Amino acid sequence: MSSATDSASASAGASANPSAADKRPAAGTRGRTRSAYPRYLAGKLAGAVVSLFAVLVTSFFLFRLIPGDPVKFMTGGRPVSAEQLAVYKEEFGLDLPLWEQFTDYCAKALSGDLGTSYQFHAPVVDKITEALPNTLLLTGTAFVLYTALGAFLGTRSAWRHGGLGDRLNTGLALTLYSIPSFWLGLLLIIVLSVGVDPIPGLFPTGGMESGREEGFAHMLDVAHHLVLPVVTLVAVEYGQTLLVTRSALLDEMGSDYLTTARAKGLRDDLVRRRHAVPNALLPTVTLVFVNLGRTVAGVILVETVFSWPGLGGLFYQALSVPDLPLVQGLFFVFAAAVILMNTLADLLYPMLDPRVGR
């Protein structure tokens, strides 16, 4: 659903992007001295830390709302003596009052311990680090491709703005953008994986590896499994980058300094490439980072459809139990990814835009 929330900012164009919208006016008020950057940096980092802590707190309390006694789940349907129930409760610290559980949780979280998963009897951190590389592989590949594709097509679209190519381009992007990703994934499975006569299935139906190859063959195997989920993600996500790049560029192309540049006698496409594009990249860059953080969470659907052994699938399994420590841990990771990327965007922004923080 990353597409769900983002559609607003995407189509509202560059200035609709929340962080970008805020930063433009800020540039004026914040001092322009060089020494301002460290302070800006410190402020942003402190903000990130506060946000992370807020997420930690929420994830703890939010998930206490989920109905379900975890101990009862663990023993669900199996005959268990009352003493044994007490042992479980103690083992997972569920016999303590809520606030004590909370302080425990915070103290442990600070030392990198997110508790023990109820259903897997293993540390949450282990379960997450097991699945994280798989999710990163999937989202990372998709991210590079859809950002490159979106930025490239968006730039082209803006250059030939209003032409047939532009209309086709934005039309296609908007259409793909309106398609539910899980549905597209299922269709791809039917056509490219199950195969429709006379085309045989070209790609594996799910999973990340067939578990038989080693070494280079194993890498090929993983790449082969990667194609369909990546294509799905790229198809539904690139439109947003395209639209933002396009409108940012259009915005920039109306600026006075471009007229000046043209008046200097520079050729039109040079003006665009050297002046307009770099400036228009600013909102795109912000979006790119925000997106990367979001993609990690948005990948839940694609992972479910393609049986990808990543965080999304883990989250869904954990939630249906509910495996509270695991749900909490994953929620924290998802939110932290967004915060991290936002902060990174914030930190990079002044380097890209001389008007901010220098």
Partner 1 sequence: MTAETTDTTESASGSPPVKSGGPGPRALARRRRRASVARFWREYRKHRAGVFGLAALVLFVLVALTAPLTVGSDVDSVTDAPGQPLESPSGRFPLGTDQFGRNLLGLLIWGSRVSLLVGLLAAVLSVLIGALIGITAGHFRGWYATVMMRITDWFLVMPTLVLAIVLATVLSRSLGTIVLAIGVTTWPTTARLVRAQTLAVESRPYIERAKALGGGHWHIMSRHVLPNVMPLILAQTTLIISSAILAEATLAFLGLGDPAVVSWGGLLQDAREAGSVSSGDWWYLVPPGIGIAVVALAFTLCGRAVEAVLNPRLGVSR
Partner 2 sequence: MNRHDQHGSGRTSHRPWRTRLLAAAGAGALLLASGAVAPSVSAADGDGGDKVLTVAVAQSVDSLSPFLAVRLLSTSIHRLTYEYLTNYDAKDNHVIPGLATEWKSSPDKLTWTYTIRSDSKWSDGEQATAEDAAWTFNTMMTDPGAATANGSFVGNFAKVTAPSPTQLVIRLKKPQATMTALDVPIVPKHVWEKVDDFSKFNNDKDFPVVGNGPFVLTDYKPDSYVRLKANKDFWRGAPKFDELVFRYYKDQDAAVAALRKGEVSFVAGSPSLTPAQADSLKGEENIRVNDAPGRRFYALATNPGARAKDGTKFGDGDPSLLDQRVRNALFMAVDRKAIVDKVFQGHAVEGAGYIPPRFSSYFFEPSAGQELAYDPKKAAQLLDEAGYRTNGDGKRLGKDGKPLDYRILCHATDPNDKAVGKYLQEWWGELGISVTLNCLDNVTDPWLAGKYDLAFDGWSVNPDPDFVLSIHTCDALPATPKDTGATDNFICDKQYDELYARQLGEYDADKRAEIVKQMQSRLYDTGYMNVMAYPNAVEAYRTDQIESITTMPSDAGNIYGQDGYWSWWSAVPADSGDSSGSSSSTGTVIGIVAGVVVLVGLGVLFAVRRRASADDRE
210-239 binders of partner 2 (CB under 8 A): 210-213, 217, 219-221, 223-224, 226-227
Footprint of partner 1 on 161-220 (CB under 8 A): 161-162, 170-171, 174-175, 177-180, 182-184, 186-187, 189-190, 194, 196
Bridge partners (DSSP) of residue 123 are 116
Cβ closer to partner 2: 13 or 207? 207
Count of CB atoms situated within 10 Å of the CB of 303: 27
- CA atoms within 13 A of residue 280's CA, in its CB half-sphere: 31
161 binds, among partner 1, partner 2, none (CB under 5 to 8 A by kind): partner 1
The answer to whether 39 touches 47, Cβ cutoff 8 Å, is: no
Short-list 277, 273, 274, CA closest to 251: 277
4 binds partner 1 (CB under 8 A): yes
Q: Which stretch binds partner 2 (CB under 8 A): 28-36, 248-256, 304-312, 329-337?
A: 304-312
279 binds partner 2 (CB under 8 A): yes
Cβ closer to partner 1: 163 or 354? 163
131 binds partner 2 (CB under 8 A): yes
Task: Give the nearest distance from C-beta 230 to partner 2 in angstroms.
Answer: 8
Distance separating alpha carbons of residues 304 and 197, to the nearest angstrom: 26
139 binds partner 2 (CB under 8 A): no
150 binds partner 2 (CB under 8 A): no
Distance separating alpha carbons of residues 301 and 308, to the nearest angstrom: 10
113 binds partner 2 (CB under 8 A): no
Footprint of partner 1 on 47-76 (CB under 8 A): 51, 54-55, 58, 62-63, 65-67
Q: Match 């954990």 to its residue by tokens.
A: 318
The answer to whether 145 touches 234, Cβ cutoff 8 Å, is: yes
Footprint of partner 2 on 21-40 (CB under 8 A): none
Quick one: 124 exposed, middle or buried, by C-beta within 10 A (0-12, 13-18, 19+)? buried
The answer to whether 148 touches 313, Cβ cutoff 8 Å, is: no
